[in-house]
């Protein structure tokens, strides 16, 4: 069971600026609380014991919130002095982790997966990375992910309109050593430059990427419409 998590909390929230004040995206207020609260609350209930919070843009605001509201939380900060992309941020943060495998979560997405099920598949397959995949219908905001029968990832498909499919929900189980051994640039996209290129290259000598379908609650506040939806849906959390 994975007990450690990296939360990517350095996003600018550019598309939310019309409806949200100048704050990091994870600090956007939702039902009276920063969105980060809901992510931390879920992970704590999932028995995560150590958090590495990857911060960048207006990081002082996040640090102040954590120190005031999460004084008992076992967390470490990972500071980007310049934007490194999701991949660069993760690579910086994994050096502050302690366990073999770590959860990766986005600070602007709440996906209430079964962490034990994700951990089990990840460990059984000895995967480099295992993705939580959300079933979705009638969408064009996300690309789709195809699986083989053994749960290994067959392909990543481009963003277009789909009547149904599995999307990358942005929660991963990551083997720290296997990821750190990859030859990657200083700044890169975890999704495009690591996940998609690994599958596209189809190098049989490298550990496979796997995916698990998890049809659990999912909200991504990256656009104003979903940010407004979160205000209602998370009111009781």
Reported as a single tens digit per residue, the pLDDT across 175-191 is 999 999 999 999 999 99
Percent of the chain with pLDDT over 90: 86
Tokens of 187: 């700044």
Assess whether pLDDT exceeds 70 at residue 122: yes
Q: Would you place residue 205 in the very low, low, confident or very high pLDDT band (cuts 50, 70, 90)?
A: low
Q: Would you place residue 201 in the very low, low, confident or very high pLDDT band (cuts 50, 70, 90)?
A: confident
Q: Are 208 and 117 in contact (CB under 8 A)?
A: no
> Residue 84 has what pLDDT?
95
pLDDT tens-digit readout, 100-111: 999 999 999 999
> Residue 207 has what pLDDT?
66
> What is the C-alpha to C-alpha distance for residues 153 and 143, in angstroms, rounded to an integer?
14
| Domain made up of 4-233: CATH architecture | Alpha-Beta Complex (3.90)
Q: C-alpha distances in angstroms, 192 versus 57, 85, 103, 219?
A: 22, 11, 19, 21
> What is the C-alpha to C-alpha distance for residues 57 and 2, in angstroms, rounded to an integer?
28
> Residue 204 has what pLDDT?
63
Single out the residue of 207, 193, 22, 31 nearest to residue 110, CA to CA: 31
pLDDT tens-digit readout, 41-63: 999 999 999 999 999 989 999 99
Domain ranges of the chain: 4-233
Q: Would you place residue 19 in the very low, low, confident or very high pLDDT band (cuts 50, 70, 90)?
A: confident
């Amino acid at each position: 069971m994975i007990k450690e998590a990296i939360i990517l909390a350095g996003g600018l929230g550019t598309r939310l600026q019309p409806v949200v004040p100048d704050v990091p995206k994870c600090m956007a207020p939702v039902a009276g609380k920063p969105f980060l609260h809901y992510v931390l609350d879920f992970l704590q209930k999932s028995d995560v014991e150590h958090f590495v919070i990857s911060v960048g843009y207006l990081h002082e605001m996040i640090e102040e919130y954590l120190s005031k509201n999460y004084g008992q939380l076992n967390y470490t900060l990972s500071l980007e002095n310049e934007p490194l992309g999701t991949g660069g941020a993760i690579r910086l943060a994994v050096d502050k982790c302690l366990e073999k495998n770590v959860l990766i979560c986005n600070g602007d997405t709440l996906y209430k997966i079964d962490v034990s099920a994700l951990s089990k598949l990840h460990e059984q397959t000895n995967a480099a990375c295992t993705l939580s995949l959300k079933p979705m219908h009638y969408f064009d905001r996300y690309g789709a992910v195809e699986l083989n029968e053994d749960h290994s990832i067959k392909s990543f498909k481009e963003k277009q309109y789909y009547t149904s499919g599995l999307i990358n929900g942005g929660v991963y189980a990551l083997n720290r050593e296997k990821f750190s051994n990859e030859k990657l640039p200083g700044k890169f996209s975890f999704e495009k430059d690591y996940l998609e290129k690994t599958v596209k290259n189809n190098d049989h000598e490298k550990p496979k990427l796997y995916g698990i379908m998890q049809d659990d609650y999912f909200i991504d506040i990256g656009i104003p419409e979903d940010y407004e939806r979160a205000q209602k849906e998370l009111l009781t959390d």
